Structure 1
Amino acid sequence: MQWLQGHYNLEKNLGSDEAAPPSLDRMTLLMELLGNPHRDIPAIHITGTNGKGSTSRMLVELIGATGLDVGSYTSPHIDRVNDRIMIANQPLDDESMTRAISEIAEVEQWVIEATGEPPSYFEILCAAAYNWFAATAVDVNVIEVGMGGRWDATNVIDAQVAVITNIGSDHLEIIGPTLADIAQEKAGIISKDTHVICGETSPDLVEIIATTEFREIWHRHSDFDASEDRLAVGGRLVDLKTPYGVHEEIFLPVNGAHQSENASAAVAAAEAFFGRKLDAEVITEALAHLTLPARFEIVQRQPTIIIDGAH
């Protein structure tokens, strides 16, 4: 793990005068050296300004409740770097994490010789996730974009489903300078065989996303939505609509009205992935067990202490 900490955080330097042009060359080579493990497992790819992490965790629970093993890669980590690479929303233990990182270290020299520079901190972790998920034979990968989409290290996959939660003004100086530029970057995770779940509702930005080549697209409000959202003891009671029907009175044990929007996108993405309506029991069981660390998380009462990573 000390080896990992010694690597440059390339992503923090993006947008500066000395930053190199964005490229997936290093990540693509790294994947080739590992045997292209990212191609072995179907994937759901998630980008957007807000809600990526919550939507990812919901998706892992939903797909896992059908009996499949789900790997997920998210960033940044909250407590420990292990939090970035999970199976069934549980971080890798220290031994597994060390092994996963060590396998990337073994091929680093070939990357340096071919490109003139080592892989970045984010690229190493992303590659370790793809490699570990293939080695442990999970059934589905849920992958959260680090920033943007088109040039993000995660974007070596061709996902079956791509979720764009929304488009906001974060990182304008890096992937902007306009919201239209950001929409174009985030749409870069879409390929011709991808089913798109579009949570953005601004007509101008939706048009940019919709001009990308894809297999099918579902839009918030017209195709999927939280049609009802009511406060309940310990969370919220919501009705979730998708093209396959309405799931009524689903309990979300989390705080914040925005989480119903994340839940509607997650259910839509899961149903797009399976190509069918999820059983009511699956959704109820999956979301009843949901925890969202540092998302309006109440960690103490009297006095009340809330941890929230909103930005």
Structure 2
Amino acid sequence: MFKTYEEALSWIHGTSVFGMKPGLKRMEWMLKRLGHPDKKIKAIHVAGTNGKGSTVTFLRNMLEANGQVVGTFTSPYIKTFNERISVNGEPISDEEILRLANIVYPLTLELEATEFGGPSEFEIITTMMFLYFGEGHADVVIVEVGLGGLLDSTNVVVPIVSAITTIGLDHTKILGETLPEIALQKAGIIKPGVPVVTGNIPEEAMQVIEKYAEEQGSEIERFSHDFSVSKWQTLPTWGEQFTFEDEHIYLNQLQIEMLGKHQIENAAVAIETLRIYSHKTGLAVSHEAMRRGLKQAFWPGRMEKINDEPLMILDGAHNEPAIRRLAETIKHDFSQQEIYLIFAALRDKALGPMLDVLTELPNVHLVLTSFDFPRAATIDDLSSYADSRTIMKEQWQEALVDTMKEMDESDIVLITGSLYFISEVRQTLLDSTEE
């Protein structure tokens, strides 16, 4: 058994040597031994290629503004490991992580001796989350899928409502090479008779989800079909304004402080998901609370402004679909300014397509770099995608210092790529401003 938080964390991270282990047998075995804590919670389950974290945040803030105690399970973390299991946005304590790890640890030793083999790191964390929330620490728990959906360890949960935010090409070696194949994995979270809300999803992927939902007898509410947004405009302060509408609700001049049209779409998915959740549970949700929650919602590293002069933005656009949405935001909001874009990514991502999108932007000065992470793409990995205008820097710290020397005061620094990269940059920069 572990005596300290550090020992517990070391064990949890150490299990990652087992690698990816698709399938739910190990989760079901552990949860059965724990008395099925997953069946003791009211859950909302959120899947999607991108937009999961933002959608979870919009949902959490609206429910919280309505007086609910809201649990969340998210990944990866930005600042501390404990963020993954949070209550009203506050990570659980080191003591709780230690306590939960000591309950789950003996089970994992038993599990290793079975035909199923030992659990993965993510399965351990997911089990700890269900154990914690099964004890009654939240009125509602929003569970974000780790990877895919069908075989993800969170997929043991039977929620009140499910949401699928977006479908795009990512993790293709695991989830499939085409949008329909990936859509089938994401659709795997749809449970019999449980309604599902879908975001802005390409038609070929949508057809797969609709067929799956029909087979499960699940109602489906589709973005721009069953609910929609209109009157979109970017606010001069920072953020977006829009009107939301479905058969039951009309909300005009809603405001969010996250930038980008894709964030409006995520907010719309969150509103529709909340409407269904409140209808199914009998929870009365005021429109005023929804407005307040949306405006308060903040998700670090998503078009996050961390400095005004010069304007410095962090955005975890970690795959090709996210980079395309980032490019849309640049064209819409920053077409008149010079942008110094510092990019670092994981080497297993579609680096070529991602960088093709960025090099096509006429006002972007592209700086390629790396960061301290085992799976980070090195400068050598990135160099084959560079053109004559691309700047290459071994370390992001050097890239940032040199960029600041080159810029005019009206220029923008935009740091993007892997969420692990954004986490490292954010922590370093915010720590230095706090000193």
> What are the residue-to-residue correspondences of 1:66-81 with 2, within 5 Å?
66-81=66-81
In structure 2, the CA distance between the partners of 1:9 and 1:208, relative to structure 1 (3 Å rule), is farther
The structure with higher relative contact order (CA 8 Å, sep 6+) is: 1
Secondary structure of the equivalent of 2:114? helix
Q: Hey, what's the Cα distance between the residues in 2 that align with 1:113 and 1:171?
A: 30
Corresponding residue for residue 123 of structure 2: 123
Higher helix share: 2
Q: Hey, what's the Cα distance between the residues in 1 that align with 2:222 and 2:13?
A: 41
Cα contact 2:41–2:136 (8 A) shared by 1: no
Question: Which of 306, 316, 319 pairs up with 1:309?
Answer: 316
Query: How far has the Cα of 1:166 moved from its partner?
Result: 1.3
Question: Which of 223, 228, 233 pairs up with 1:220?
Answer: 223
Give the residue type in structure 1 aligned to 2:37. Answer: P
Query: How far has the Cα of 1:78 moved from its partner?
Result: 1.2
Query: How far has the Cα of 1:159 moved from its partner?
Result: 1.5
Query: How far has the Cα of 1:9 moved from its partner?
Result: 5.2
Give the residue type in structure 1 aligned to 2:232. Answer: D
Corresponding residue for residue 272 of structure 2: 268
Q: Hey, what's the Cα distance between the residues in 2 that align with 1:243 and 1:97?
A: 43
Give the residue type in structure 2 aligned to 1:251. Answer: Q
Whether 1:297 aligns to 2:268 is: no
Query: How far has the Cα of 1:90 moved from its partner?
Result: 1.5
Whether 1:4 aligns to 2:4 is: no
Query: How far has the Cα of 1:100 moved from its partner?
Result: 2.3
Cα contact 1:5–1:121 (8 A) shared by 2: yes
In structure 2, the CA distance between the partners of 1:108 and 1:242, relative to structure 1 (3 Å rule), is same
**Segments of 4+ moved more than 6 angstroms:** none
- 5+ unaligned residues in a row in structure 2: which ranges? 1-8, 319-435
Percent identical across equivalent pairs?
33
Corresponding residue for residue 103 of structure 2: 103
Give the residue type in structure 1 aligned to 2:253. Answer: E
Whether 1:158 aligns to 2:154 is: no
Secondary structure of the equivalent of 1:7? helix
Corresponding residue for residue 28 of structure 1: 28
Give the residue type in structure 1 aligned to 2:181. Answer: D
Q: Hey, what's the Cα distance between the residues in 2 that align with 1:111 and 1:257?
A: 45
In structure 2, the CA distance between the partners of 1:9 and 1:219, relative to structure 1 (3 Å rule), is farther
Q: Hey, what's the Cα distance between the residues in 2 that align with 1:294 and 1:204?
A: 30
Query: How far has the Cα of 1:160 moved from its partner?
Result: 1.6
Query: How far has the Cα of 1:179 moved from its partner?
Result: 1.2
Give the residue type in structure 1 aligned to 2:13. Answer: Q
Corresponding residue for residue 138 of structure 1: 138
Secondary structure of the equivalent of 2:28? helix
Cα contact 1:236–1:253 (8 A) shared by 2: yes
Q: Hey, what's the Cα distance between the residues in 1 that align with 2:59 and 2:115?
A: 36
Corresponding residue for residue 256 of structure 2: 252
Cα contact 2:160–2:277 (8 A) shared by 1: yes
Cα contact 1:250–1:283 (8 A) shared by 2: no
Secondary structure of the equivalent of 2:184? helix
Cα contact 1:228–1:240 (8 A) shared by 2: no
Higher radius of gyration, 1 or 2: 2
Corresponding residue for residue 197 of structure 2: 197
Q: Hey, what's the Cα distance between the residues in 2 that align with 1:116 and 1:223?
A: 42
Whether 1:113 aligns to 2:116 is: no
Corresponding residue for residue 238 of structure 2: 234
Give the residue type in structure 2 aligned to 1:178. Answer: T
Corresponding residue for residue 176 of structure 2: 176
Corresponding residue for residue 287 of structure 1: 294
Give the residue type in structure 2 aligned to 1:131. Answer: L
Give the residue type in structure 2 aligned to 1:225. Answer: S
Q: Which stretch shifts more, 227-236 or 77-86?
A: 227-236
Query: How far has the Cα of 1:87 moved from its partner?
Result: 0.8
Give the residue type in structure 1 aligned to 2:315. Answer: D
Q: Hey, what's the Cα distance between the residues in 2 that align with 1:91 and 1:256?
A: 27
Q: Which stretch shifts more, 167-176 or 234-243?
A: 234-243
In structure 2, the CA distance between the partners of 1:201 and 1:2, relative to structure 1 (3 Å rule), is closer
Query: How far has the Cα of 1:196 moved from its partner?
Result: 0.7
